């Protein structure tokens, strides 16, 4: 059904994992509130190369060659952001140094990854438990999508959604050639969010192609296509939220920003995360190797409750987005939060307490209770620091942090609810009711 380690099937999953890790390190280090020095950012990114190079050697047994291939592929993916470093000051093209920067970066990253891949000294025959690379790729896609949700939350929390006035260009420049030196303040938040969106879109497309080639489950292939369609729609919505229509103009007077599209864009981003979690669950080795579903008398009721939890969370996300953008519906948002907490605690407690020995269901149940507890705390804190108002002016770092954490935790709750529903469906079936004849 799904190949776990044939040929060089590990190259792209590990390359994307390395790239996402490097981007995450660079993104958080260069946040306006952090602004770590360039040498530190570069060093941390190279640490990610080394760690994934080591992992490559440890898990594949192909030594330095595997590391070189993974590192080179990751370096090519990093061209999505390298252009910002190599762009000319006016954003009109690339500097002449690109002629040696591009091949040089590929060689350096490939050599570092190759060196660390050789360090464990493992051979193919030493790898007794080969990794499932498609499963890893799906998890990387989830991680990249969650980072994108966090980056989007920071855009909203910092009121930076309109910091870049045009789309798909950035102030008239090619999005991938906008100079790093001009990414300051709100422009950094919005432009980095767009770059992350491009990476997530590419990750989704490559994952979908891989699933079509390596997985024979037709419904999963259709799910992968749905993910590609949704991520493309999401990207267009993000642009139209800024411009209000398709235009290459850079004049603010030609733009018609849409709050409605901003709300839709924010909610669909978290729904997309739920979809990627679903793909990660059903491509996992545990899903394929789990025993046949066992009969339980309680499973129908639990599935119904979990489905209601997912649906209620989506509605709650809509209300949260409306509150963040318009400061409307706070009482409804708080009231529905009580329903979400009740459903999450009951569903989590039942998964934890009733299904002993079925660790995916039990652990997700435990996580659901823990995360919803954190979310309640963050919700109270967000209400305290924002006083129920929409983001206006220059919010404090504390306000930005709490509001973004509240949004990201809501996305994590939806992801857990989706995973719990799927695992309950996979592991259990309704026990047949036996009636005696008199």
Distance CA 318, CA 155 (A): 17
pLDDT tens sequence across 115-170: 999 987 766 656 666 788 999 999 999 999 999 999 999 999 998 888 998 888 88
CA–CA dist 296, 427 (Å, integer): 10
Evaluate the CA torsion angle 97, 192, 272, 373 in order and state its sign.
positive
> Can you give the pLDDT at residue 318?
94
Which residues is 294 bridged to in the sheet?
428
Across the range 98-127, mean pLDDT stands at: 84
Least confident of 68-72, 296-300, 301-305, 313-317: 296-300
**DSSP-assigned beta bridge partners for residue 173:** 170
Tens-digit pLDDT profile for residues 7-23: 688 999 999 999 999 99
Cα→Cα distances 275→216, 281, 417, Å: 19, 10, 12
Residue 25 has pLDDT above 50, yes or no: yes
Tell whether the model's pLDDT for residue 420 goes beyond 50: yes
CB 328 within 8 Å of CB 322: yes
Q: Which residue has the tokens 């920003």?
A: 257
Q: Which residues contact 176 (CB under 8 A, 6 or more apart)?
A: 79, 80, 81, 83, 84, 195, 198
pLDDT tens digits, 26-78: 999 999 888 899 999 999 999 999 999 999 998 887 889 999 999 999 999 99
Q: Residue 40: its pLDDT value, please? A: 95
- Other C-beta atoms within 10 Å of 120: how many? 18
List the chain domain ranges: 293-430
Residue carrying structure tokens 């659901």: 368
- pLDDT, residue 389, reads 64
149 within 8 A of 269, measured Cβ to Cβ: yes
Computed over every residue of the chain, the mean pLDDT equals 88
């Amino acid at each position: 059904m799904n190949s776990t380690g044939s040929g060089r099937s590990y190259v792209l999953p590990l390359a994307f994992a390395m790239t996402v890790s490097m981007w995450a390190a660079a993104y958080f280090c260069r946040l306006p509130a952090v602004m770590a020095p360039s040498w530190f950012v570069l060093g941390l990114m190279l640490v990610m190369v080394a760690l994934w190079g080591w992992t490559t050697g440890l898990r594949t047994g192909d030594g330095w060659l595997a590391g070189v291939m993974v590192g080179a592929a990751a370096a090519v993916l990093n061209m999505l952001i390298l252009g910002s470093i190599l762009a000319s000051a006016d954003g009109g093209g690339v500097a002449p140094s690109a002629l040696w920067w591009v091949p040089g970066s590929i060689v350096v990253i490939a050599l570092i990854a190759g060196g660390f891949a050789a360090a464990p000294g493992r051979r193919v025959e030493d790898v007794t438990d080969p990794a499932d690379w498609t499963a890893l790729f799906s998890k990387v896609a989830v991680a990249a999508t969650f980072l994108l949700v966090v980056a989007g939350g920071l855009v909203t929390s910092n009121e930076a959604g309109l910091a870049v006035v045009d789309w798909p260009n950035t102030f008239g420049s090619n999005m991938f050639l906008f100079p790093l030196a001009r990414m300051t303040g709100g422009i950094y938040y919005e432009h980095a969010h767009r770059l992350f969106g491009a990476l997530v879109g590419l990750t989704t497309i490559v994952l979908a192609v891989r699933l079509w080639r390596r997985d024979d489950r037709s419904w999963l292939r259709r799910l992968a296509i749905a993910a590609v369609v949704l991520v493309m729609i999401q990207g267009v919505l993000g642009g139209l939220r800024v411009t209000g229509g398709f235009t290459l103009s850079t004049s603010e007077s030609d733009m018609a920003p849409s709050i409605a599209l901003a709300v839709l864009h924010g909610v669909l981003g978290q729904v997309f995360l739920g979809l990627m979690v679903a793909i990660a669950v059903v491509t996992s080795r545990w899903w394929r190797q789990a025993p046949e579903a066992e009969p339980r008398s309680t499973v129908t009721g639990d599935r119904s409750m979990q489905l209601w939890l997912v649906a209620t969370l989506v509605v709650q996300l809509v209300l949260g987005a409306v509150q963040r953008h318009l400061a409307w519906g706070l009482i409804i948002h708080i009231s529905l939060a009580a329903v979400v907490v009740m459903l999450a605690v009951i569903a989590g407690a039942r998964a934890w307490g009733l299904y002993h020995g079925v660790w995916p269901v039990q652990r997700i149940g435990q996580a659901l209770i823990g995360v919803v507890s954190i979310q309640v705390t963050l919700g109270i804190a967000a209400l305290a620091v924002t006083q129920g108002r929409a983001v206006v002016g220059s919010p404090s770092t504390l306000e930005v942090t709490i509001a973004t954490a509240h949004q990201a935790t809501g996305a994590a709750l939806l992801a857990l609810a989706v995973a719990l529903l799927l695992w309950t469906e996979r592991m259990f079936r309704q026990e047949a009711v036996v009636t005696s004849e008199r």
